[in-house]
Amino acid sequence: MKARHATAKLLTRLPSMHAPLPRATATQRTAASSLHPQARLTETLPRPRPGDPPKSCFEDTELSADLFTAPQGYTVRVLPAPASLRITPASLRGAGPSAVWQKPWFFIQTVGRETKPEFTASELQARAFGVKMLNWIQLITTPTADTQGTCLLLHFDKQRYVFGNISEGTQRAMVQRKVGLHKTEDIFLSGPVDWHNAGGLIGMILTLADVIGTTKEALNAENAARKKKGRKLVEDTVLSRLNIHGGKNLSQLLATSRRFVFRKGLPLNPVEVRDDPRASKQGAEPDWQDSNIKVWYMPVDAKADQESQPSRKRSHDEISDSDSTTPKSSKEDDQRQVLEIVTQMFNSKWKMDALVETTLYEANLPAKLFVRDDKGHIQVYKGPMPGDEGEVPDIPVLVRQPWPAALYLTLPWTEPSKQSMCYVVKGHDRRGKFNPKLAEKYGVAKQDYKKLTAGQNVTVNDIVVTPEMVLGETIPGLGFAVLDVPNTSYIEALINRPEFSSEELMDGIVVAFWLLGPGVINDPQLQAFMEKTPSLRHVICSGDSSPNMISLESAATQNYKLHCIDPDRFPLLDFNNGAPVSQVPMGPLPESLEIGRTGKMIQFSPQFMHKDDQIVPFPNVKKLAETDKVPGVKELANIARQKCGDPTFLAKIQQVESDIPSRDAEVITLGTGSALPSKYRNVSATLVRVPGFGNYLFDAGENTMGQLRRTFGSELPSVLRDLKVIWISHLHADHHLGTAGVIKAWNEETLQSNPSAKLHVASHMHMIDWLREYASIETYGFSRLTFTQFSQYDANTRICKSRPFDAEQVEAYGLEKIEACYVEHCHGALATVFTWPSGLKVAYSGDCRPSDSFVQIGQGTTLLIHESTFDDELKGDAIAKKHSTMSEAIDVGRRMGARRIMLTHFSQRYQKIPSLEENLEIKADVGSEEKAKLDEVILVAFDYMRVKLGEFRKAQAFLPAIQKLFENVGEQ
């Protein structure tokens, strides 16, 4: 496998229109002028000498003459340079500030295409013909509260394929089911490209990229050691690329994530099916195939007069974004640009330590700045900043080179697609059983047996022995169909597809997996079509039929154990093994239909069989929880319950906490893990419910909606109706990839009950940009959002300008003001403090190192919710990864004077906290600062935990029992 190769060059505008092109040919000069009339090649510039003034970091970049040409197999890309970049041509050195700073026009990048052996259809069939292997397909997820979509895994010995929906929660369900994806090179996304079907796709890609990167590093280290010892190297079988097949807007969806997806070395190829292959292709020739399977794409368009999704008017911001480009580019150009962005996102040669030069006033702050010292060495800039008192010179500074894909500030506008992708998939024919007696009869040497089994002829004494002469009857390839029908407007177009009338194509298709939207299963036309195809086993996967079973039994079992200790803070999760997650009533189904269940497996080879013994049984969480009881936990829980029932204890709590505002405010920690969803902890999300004001969501990692559904059950509609504000701390996937799903659910719930309602989103500008760009892919409620983006801030303290709410806004959103400050974690990372009219203050850290600015804006806070990613002994890791330890988080709360502290965002299943002395003997005349120190209560968060401000001391009473439960639990 040949790796990609890229070299970057720079095209700039020089003052002299007649500056010579160094070593450039006439052809190259013509190509340059065709890009821009003032385009010229930069000179090759020497490295700075000690004592020279600061110069451009591009001055040590050697630019070859073949700027506009590329060898065979390579392509030339022209990337727009950011407006903030400047370079210093050598011919202008020393001419003064007005002359030296020039704007570059373009980056030129020569990129080599990854090469992979190409085989003809007959060669692929021949490669597959002689191979015998275990081949099956299995339902990994079905619609439940935890997993909204249906996902299937197709297994071959050396390769895996994913079909269906990659909904939020799919990745976590795969962890629960112990499904590995490291052999997966192709994902076939079904249905329309929207958040229901693809909400978990970006997170899955990130995980795959990280797994592959880690595996390759380990393999390289292993082979390096083997090479030193003269041993045979281990074959590199690590996934080299990822193909994602899907419908319209697939590339657009991926490109919207360019600001927060930073991965290298995993070429990603979006195979976007925009047109119907059957319109231009006759017969049963597949649209895609490899040595294992053949795939036919079936894009199905909704019938226009039946389309159920309501249309909407575009917001002013959306119209401005889509109509601002003049002249308007063609759709083909737009698609090429989007595809180029996706390529840059996953296979760039970008390095984090690469620096580019700008000026102090034009640097995109906040950012770490560097300068060259008198010896030409690069150092961190610690001088005065724009906005400081006194004169601040506009000196040259260095900043990290932007991620290439992020250079594109906007995407071409698109429209929501009404196309649903379906697939027909079939394996290649396999050879029959080899008959060695016949081979011996024809005089074939034993060493040539393998040729015959591989489908090759063998010549013996001028007689050609063919495989058919020594093999049993060829075994036809078997397969399946994935038919995704979001609503009834797609049914007529689907059942009239030409694929179903092709005997050659449908021969061997033994099962159809139906992924059906609400109410579709009741359609008489669809049921009649199923009954007319008795040769197919019809497996129905729908929210109307699939039982709302617990899909994440590890998390549910942990919740049950905690419920047994403290049932008030850990209510049981909502589930129903006898009823579906949908509320749409379902009529009687024909007997030929089968309800899809998680784990359902159909084996295609070596023998065809339905393996229903693989269906995941309904989890008995009570029984699972009782299998590993910890001695002493029950006794400690009983002691805590007795204490919480003591009238004297309750009276003292009431007296000490009488000055805490909104004591009935409730904190629900929906996701308390870090980086990746695990069996026991989902990624970040915390809901604060303040009676009389509303509900407020702090961060929304992937599948926050799944956590809400499990936590609230039938109460969820009222929870969504009362949702007022969403705060997103930063653009890391584990903190914001569930936002679109939450907004969509809020929009659907309130469109009927309160269509004039607005939902406020506060965050960094790039988060708001992402929501705006995604609105071109799906109508999910963007036009009903209002925003606060924090951009103005004090350069010294990094504290942002406060966002007060006027009387009308207080009525709408229940808040008095939002404060924020930039913190040390990643670009745009923010911590915040929400203040309510009642005096309640909630401070939320997001991810960060301890911050003095956060302490400043959080003075006198009622509740601090702070990340506690690492144990204290891992402080070095916390510093390196820009997180906080437990003790650091507690110290931030103490410096704020926080009355209550909730620790969250753990890198493992459980973190111990120090035993704290309880103090209920606080005098009435104690000052507020001293009282905060004496009345401090610290809790450790778990998923699905619910605790009111006035119940923190009750929850604290159960900590000894919880610590006992997890005392032998390590990192999980």
DSSP 19-70: ---TT--HHHHHHHHHH-TTEEEPPP-PPPPTTPPP--GGGG----S-TT--
| pLDDT score for 591 | 77
Tens of pLDDT along 267-290?
899 999 999 999 887 778 999 999
User: Looking at residue 57, what is its pLDDT?
Assistant: 38
Residues 6+ apart with CB under 8 A from 133: 156, 157, 158, 605
Q: What average pLDDT does this structure show over 650-672?
A: 94
* Cα 307 from Cα 285, distance rounded (Å): 31
The pLDDT score that the predictor gives to residue 850 is 98
Tokens of 105: 């026009």
Lowest mean pLDDT among 312-326, 544-558, 957-971: 312-326
Give the Cα separation of 717 and 745 in Å (integer).
9
Please tell me which residue, 83 or 417, carries the higher pLDDT value.
Answer: 417
List Cβ neighbours of 245 (8 Å cut-off, separation of 6 or more).
186, 187, 188, 189, 271, 273, 288, 295, 297, 421
Give the pLDDT of residue 351. 67
DSSP letter for each residue of 283-344:
TT--SEE-SSEEEEEEEEEPPGGG--SPP-PPPHHHHHHHH-SSSPPPHHHHHHHHHHHHHH
Instruction: Determine the average pLDDT of the residues in 4-17.
Output: 37
Kindly write down the DSSP assignment for every residue of 749-815, as one continuous string. Answer: HHHHH-TT--EEEEE-HHHHHHHHHHTTT--SSGGGEEEEE---B-TTT-BBPPEE--HHHHHHH--
Q: Are 752 and 717 in contact (CB under 8 A)?
A: no
User: Residues 45-94: pLDDT tens digits?
Assistant: 344 444 444 333 343 444 444 444 444 444 444 455 544 444 444 444 44
For 730-745, write each residue's pLDDT tens digit: 999 999 999 999 999 9
CB 789 within 8 A of CB 764: yes
Q: Evaluate if residue 262 carries a pLDDT over 70.
A: yes
Q: What is the pLDDT of residues 607-633, one digit of tens each?
A: 899 999 999 999 999 999 987 789 999
Residue with tokens 């499990």: 710
Is residue 439 scored above 60 in pLDDT? Answer: yes
Tokens coding 28: 């190259």
What pLDDT is recorded for position 911? 61
C-alpha pair distances (Å), 872 with each of 97, 382, 665, 855, 866? 50, 30, 30, 20, 15
**75-89, 420-434, 630-644, 667-681: the lowest-pLDDT one:** 75-89
DSSP code, position 530? H
For the ranges 218-222, 610-614, 785-789, which has the lowest average pLDDT? 218-222
Q: Tell whether the model's pLDDT for residue 827 goes beyond 80.
A: yes
**Beta pairing class for 242-246 and 184-189:** parallel
What residue type is 43 in one-letter code?
E
Closest by CA position to 905, among listed 725, 660, 730, 739: 730
* Position 771 pLDDT exceeds 50: yes
Give the span between the Cα atoms of 251 and 256, in whole angstroms: 9
pLDDT at 957 over 50: yes
Read off the pLDDT of residues 170-212 as tens digits, 9 standing for 90 and up.
999 999 999 988 889 999 999 999 999 999 999 999 888 888 7
The span from the CA of 579 to the CA of 544, in Å, is 9
Closest alpha carbon to 770 in 738, 805, 803: 738
User: Considering only 28-42, 165-179, 852-866, 939-953, which range has the smallest mean pLDDT?
Assistant: 28-42
pLDDT, tens digit, for every residue of 902-921?
999 998 755 666 555 666 66
Confidence of residue 110 (pLDDT cuts 50, 70, 90): very low
Band of pLDDT at residue 353, cut at 50, 70 and 90: low
Beta bridge partners of 12: 40, 104
> Residue 920: what pLDDT?
62
For residue 431, the model assigns a pLDDT of 77
**Res. 962: pLDDT tops 50:** yes
The fraction of the chain above a pLDDT of 90, given in percent, is 57
* Residue 24 pLDDT level (bands cut at 50, 70, 90): very low
> Where is average pLDDT lowest: 88-92, 376-380, 546-550?
88-92
Element (H, E) at 107: strand 104-112
DSSP-based helix, strand, coil % in the chain, nearest 5: 30, 25, 45
Model confidence at 305, pLDDT cuts 50, 70, 90, reads low
Dihedral sign, Cα of residue 898, residue 901, residue 907, residue 910:
positive
pLDDT at 130 over 60: no
Per residue in 480-506, pLDDT tens? 999 999 999 999 999 999 999 999 999
Q: What is the pLDDT of residues 559-575, one digit of tens each?
A: 999 999 999 999 999 99
pLDDT of amino acid 525: 95
pLDDT at 628: 77
Predicted pLDDT at 692: 97
When mean pLDDT is compared across 51-55, 124-128, 643-647, 844-848, the lowest value belongs to 51-55
By the 8 A CB rule, do 403 and 731 touch? Answer: no
Q: Which two tokens stand for residue 754?
A: 């309160």
Give the C-alpha separation, 932 to 940, whole Å.
19
Q: Which amino acid, 836?
A: W
pLDDT the model gives residue 99: 40
Q: What is the 3-state secondary structure (H, E, C) of 899-931?
A: CEEEEECECCCCCCCCCCCCCCCCCCCCCHHHH
Angle formed by the axes of helices 739-753 and 704-712, nearest 10° = 50
Average pLDDT of the segment spanning 111-116: 46
- Better-scored residue on pLDDT, 316 or 847: 847
Average pLDDT, the chain: 83
Position 100 pLDDT exceeds 70:
no
pLDDT above 70: percentage of residues in the chain: 80
Q: How many CB atoms lie within 10 A of CB 299?
A: 21
Tokens of 162: 């994913």
